Structure 1
Amino acid sequence: MSRRLEHLFSPLRIRDVEIRNRILSTGHQTFLARDGVPGEDLVAYHEARARGGAGLIIVESARFHASALSDAPELNVSDDRCIPGYRALAEAVHRHGGRVFGQLSHAGRLTRRIRGGVREVAFAPSAVPDNRFQTMPREMPTAMVEEVVEACGAAAGRFAEAGLDGVEIVASHGLLFAQFLNPRTNLRTDRYGGTPENRLRFLAECLSAVRKAVGGRVVGMRISVEEVELDGLDAAEVLAACKALAALGILDYVNTTTGSMAGPGGSVHVVPPMGIAPAYVAPQAGTLRAQVGLPVFVAGRINQPQVAEEVLRAGLADMCGMTRAMISDPDLGNKAAAGRFDDIRACIACNQACIGHFHAGYSISCIQNPVTGREARLPAMPRSGRKRVLVAGGGPGGMKAAATAAARGHDVVLCEAGRRLGGQALLAQLLPDRAEFGGLITNLEREIAQAGIEIRLDTRVDRALVEELRPDEVVVATGALPYEPAIEGREDAHVVGAWAVLNGGANLGTRVLVADWRADWVGMGVAEKLVRDGHQVTLAVNAPHAGYNLQIYLRNYWISKLHKLGVQIVTDARIYGADGTTAYLVHNASNEAIVRDDVDTIVLATGHASATDLERELDGLPVPVHLIGDCLSPRSAEEAILEGFVVARGL
């Protein structure tokens, strides 16, 4: 064990449950449930993190009452059918020395609640709409509130029967329990509304029902230290509620986070993207801890064990939620305990395959770790016979292919035409607040260094080199180049590419129009960079809104920044012409012209085209050639890394 992390690796005892360390995997939706219950995929996912050294795993929020059920692949603990699956999950976590809690949640008004393709009724404390899902809920009748309390206790009893160590109620992020606490969303006149004591009653009764059902097991609550929405709970209201619940003696710990799902601004904090400071919730958690007198957990961009150690050392919390850190590297705990910090695959908070998959309706994964979410389908990789493998291209896909092939026992040569490994990730890290994306390169370089791969920089692979090296397999990962559409009159205007802007090779005028075809981080990031550099910027995006193809929390975070910076955004617009200082765009839906005068420079963020020269050059050679990443089709680092991993795994 590393002496420098003595706080992180000290045990924590709550009631009769001893947790071996302070590393917490908070409840997070994986969409790995099958037919509403934990199955092989979900068990394997959490077992990997327990095996990797997590102290406590809180399983994702489960629906426990009919008014919360939808067609989403979520956990359902409203009947005994769930018990065998939870028992298998608990046994898997316990087998590796970890502890596991179940989590109970109800969205209330914050849902579209689709069943059978149609929207069902959303129930909440009162008929107060939200500003994200555009849902007008129906007020819960008093009898239904009482029914939900009973259902909450029954669900907790199922967790106990399955052998889980504790139960957590989700009162965070503006969800149902928080809605009852909030005087702006709870307008009731019965015994569950009006006074602070009445608004607390629903949550207190549910916690009491849970306590009665689970006996001596741990009972906790997750809550936002503040909701960061105009109609959300503020810090004083949250603190008062926590103190009142602690005084009732029905609560063993408080698990803190921040933000709310009720609006675009507050929801950014549900899974905060890079650009938000590490451990930024910890000071508020510390304030709450000092006044509530219970163990306090905290989450919010704690992606390194050293950061967690400092939070604990400062007395700001008793456990640190490191959820995305363990999505990226499930072995984080074991590596940190052994002092192998450089071997940890650090999370870069890109949000692409974790919460991004969830919002797209797919099961969880990680752009850096394709095994995440696929543990049951991708068991430990055996070493194979020795082949000579040539990888052409040192971007993320090529690097992952090389590292994976070497882990299989092959002799690997990795050739990169440039002076550095990293591909387009080298450009991505130059965008404002995106430097952390460069951690992807650092992590892959570590994998390559450990594998003992031969690296040849400034080496462009061609047919002659392949014939000289005589590999058994060739992996082509040559990426893509900027795609520039035909622009009528371009020769009379000042037009440059986004890559040139990021590399510092563009001479720009004062008034800049960014033509953003892909509606992702490139256009928005370049627009932000330019306005921070003193330019007047218009972002013309070929989509219904900026960041259309980004994960929504990242998109909302960036849209907020661009609004504050005064960037003018024109939506549904694509570039088709230029003339001197005039840019001509066309509206996607109406096909009518959009004319922007007084434009000194047009910056093209118009996507990429596959680099296919090597593919054509190798045609006819008697060696298997595998295409991965952007040279196959321009997409993102996630697809490139996944394809590199899958191809190399099969060699």
Structure 2
Amino acid sequence: MNLLEPIQVGKITLKNRIMFPPMTTGYEERDGSIGTQSFNFYKRLAEGGVAYIVLGDVAPVNTVSPTPKLFHDGQIEAYQKLADALHVYDCKLGIQLFHPEYDVDALAELFRKGDMQAARAKLHHDMLHYIDEVTEEQLNTILEKMGDCVKRAYQAGVDVIEVHGDRLVGSLCSTILNHRNDQYGGVFENRIRFALDVVKTIKEYAPDICIDYKLPVVTVNPDGTLRGKGGLLIEEAVKFAKILEEAGVDMIHVGQANHTGNMNDTIPAMGTTPYSFMASYTKQIKEAVAIPVSAVGRIITPENGEALIENGVCDIIGLGRSLLADPDYVKKLEAGEGTRIRHCMMCNKGCTDSIQNRKFLSCVLNAENGYEYDRVITPATDKKKLLLWVVDQQVWKLPEWPKQKDMMSFYLKKKQL
């Protein structure tokens, strides 16, 4: 099976082709450090057999965003503890390096002063205009902070740095969001300049570390409208993928471009988007480069993943919600037929709904999710078979059968305990 075959990525080897892609979890501590809940979550995924885990949205600055952060040396120890725990299971740890599209320092100062009204106004303004207003000097400072973050990650034993090609980086690349007329705006070569500066900075601060790049693609809806704003249209994305490979990037992670205001565009609920909806775009990137390419986008079953690899769409499969539903997905795949994987039903009730409501990530199909090692569901010691008849909201148990004349009004449920 292709999914279980190892693959070489730069100087590292992934033991199989399944990764946990970057997701916002809400598990981190208030300062963005890796605490017990976050540690247990990722360790449990590694224990389940995943080859590569990426921590989403790791900031090199102290942002107001509820994401992981690595902006001072005191945080190195927690990341090192996590890296060591994952390495026990031969699982590689990546951090997704990102910077939000707002003035972090200015906003932090308003929050420090307690001027919430001004802070909200500033945040709203920045989300619309920061890409055009951020100065070259500020961008250089951000690069320095990113470099320091990368150095800390390398010291902690992190295996991979994934550049978050959306948010600030992707917005600068975008023809939709970038209206600059300096060296960071206008023509394609200018719009990708900062993204390449980020790659160059990583190589300067950690020459031996593996570099992954999340390449967000602005896709086209059936009605011809565009989906996503940050990132690039496919023609430029293919061109950029070749440049990234030449710049020394070891792997490309293709995803749907964000900045739409609609989380369903990137994490679609059941029935709203076809399975493997990024496949045609990912394949175009894959055909343009020789380095490994990973895919995401409503990939559910092993058959889905196998088909993508066999058809030359990608080399590595990213399973996000699927691994929330069943962290033992890979172990069960290794066990072969007869071992049932609990498949995500894409309800988005425990995962994306929780994040949008400022709660931590969870899954309605996995009661342990978010409580790993603290809440452990085990098989019942005494197994029973029970047949329940529900009649007009009244429950009957064997052998107390309802009367035959009421059978037409029955709704039968059979439940194995």
TM-score normalised by length of structure 2? 0.84
Structure 1 position 184, deviation (Å)? 3.0
The structure 2 residue matched to 1:38, chosen from 34, 39, 49, is 34
Structure of higher CA gyration radius: 1
Q: Which runs of 4+ in 1 moved over 6 A?
A: 135-138
The structure 2 residue matched to 1:256, chosen from 247, 250, 254, is 254
The structure 2 residue matched to 1:162, chosen from 156, 161, 164, is 156
Tell me how far apart the structure 1 counterparts of residues 131 and 280 of structure 2 sit (CA, whole Å): 35
Tell me how far apart the structure 1 counterparts of residues 365 and 67 of structure 2 sit (CA, whole Å): 25
Structure 1 position 462, deviation (Å)? 7.2
Q: Structure 1 pair 154/136, CA: closer, same or farther in 2 (3 Å)?
A: closer
Q: Any idea what the Cα deviations from partners look like across 1:93-122, whole Å, max 9, x if unmatched? A: 1111211111111231699x7956542744
Q: Any idea what the Cα deviations from partners look like across 1:455-514, whole Å, max 9, x if unmatched? A: xxx99337996xxxxxxxxxxxxxxxxxxxxxxxxxxxxxxxxxxxxx9xxxxxxxxxxx
Structure 1 position 291, deviation (Å)? 1.0
The structure 2 residue matched to 1:91, chosen from 84, 94, 99, is 84
Residue aligning to 1:119: 120
The structure 2 residue matched to 1:295, chosen from 289, 292, 295, is 292
Tell me how far apart the structure 2 counterparts of residues 376 and 259 of structure 1 sit (CA, whole Å): 35
Structure 1 position 270, deviation (Å)? 1.5
Structure 1 position 358, deviation (Å)? 0.9
Structure 1 position 23, deviation (Å)? 0.5
What is the letter of the counterpart of residue 159 of structure 1?
A
Residue aligning to 1:309: 306
Question: Is 1:102 the equivalent of 2:123?
Answer: no
Question: Is 1:408 the equivalent of 2:360?
Answer: no
Q: What SS does the aligned partner of 1:284 have?
A: helix
Which deviates more, 346-355 or 181-190? Answer: 181-190
Question: Is 1:324 the equivalent of 2:306?
Answer: no
Tell me how far apart the structure 2 counterparts of residues 326 and 128 of structure 1 sit (CA, whole Å): 32
Residue aligning to 1:47: 43
Q: What SS does the aligned partner of 1:8 have?
A: helix
- Which of the pair has the greater relative contact order for Cα pairs under 8 Å at 6+ separation? 2
Structure 1 position 183, deviation (Å)? 2.7
Tell me how far apart the structure 1 counterparts of residues 94 and 227 of structure 2 sit (CA, whole Å): 29
Residue aligning to 2:245: 246
Q: What SS does the aligned partner of 2:3 have?
A: coil
Answer yes or no: is the 8 Å Cα contact 1:272–1:301 preserved in 2.
Answer: yes
TM-score normalised by length of structure 1? 0.55
What is the letter of the counterpart of residue 268 of structure 2?
P
Question: Is 1:11 the equivalent of 2:11?
Answer: no
In structure 1, the gaps of 5 or more residues are: 1-5, 130-134, 382-403, 420-457, 466-502, 504-647
Structure 1 position 61, deviation (Å)? 1.4
Answer yes or no: is the 8 Å Cα contact 1:258–1:269 preserved in 2.
Answer: yes
Answer yes or no: is the 8 Å Cα contact 2:101–2:127 preserved in 1.
Answer: no
The structure 1 residue matched to 2:24, chosen from 24, 29, 35, is 29
Answer yes or no: is the 8 Å Cα contact 1:123–1:139 preserved in 2.
Answer: no
The structure 2 residue matched to 1:201, chosen from 190, 193, 200, is 193
Structure 1 position 50, deviation (Å)? 0.8
Kindly report the root-mean-square deviation, in angstroms, between the aligned alpha carbons of the 2 structures.
2.9
Q: What SS does the aligned partner of 1:417 have?
A: strand
Answer yes or no: is the 8 Å Cα contact 1:86–1:159 preserved in 2.
Answer: yes
Structure 1 position 346, deviation (Å)? 0.5
Residue aligning to 2:336: 339
Q: What SS does the aligned partner of 1:416 have?
A: strand
Tell me how far apart the structure 1 counterparts of residues 142 and 42 of structure 2 sit (CA, whole Å): 28
Structure 1 position 123, deviation (Å)? 9.9
The structure 1 residue matched to 2:396, chosen from 461, 464, 474, is 461
Q: Structure 1 pair 341/272, CA: closer, same or farther in 2 (3 Å)?
A: farther
Q: What SS does the aligned partner of 2:2 have?
A: coil
Residue aligning to 2:405: none
Q: What SS does the aligned partner of 1:100 have?
A: strand
Q: Any idea what the Cα deviations from partners look like across 1:435-462, whole Å, max 9, x if unmatched? A: xxxxxxxxxxxxxxxxxxxxxxx99337
In structure 2, the gaps of 5 or more residues are: 220-225, 401-410, 412-416
Kindly report which structure 2 residues correspond to 1:555-570, keeping only aligned pairs within 5 A, or say none: none
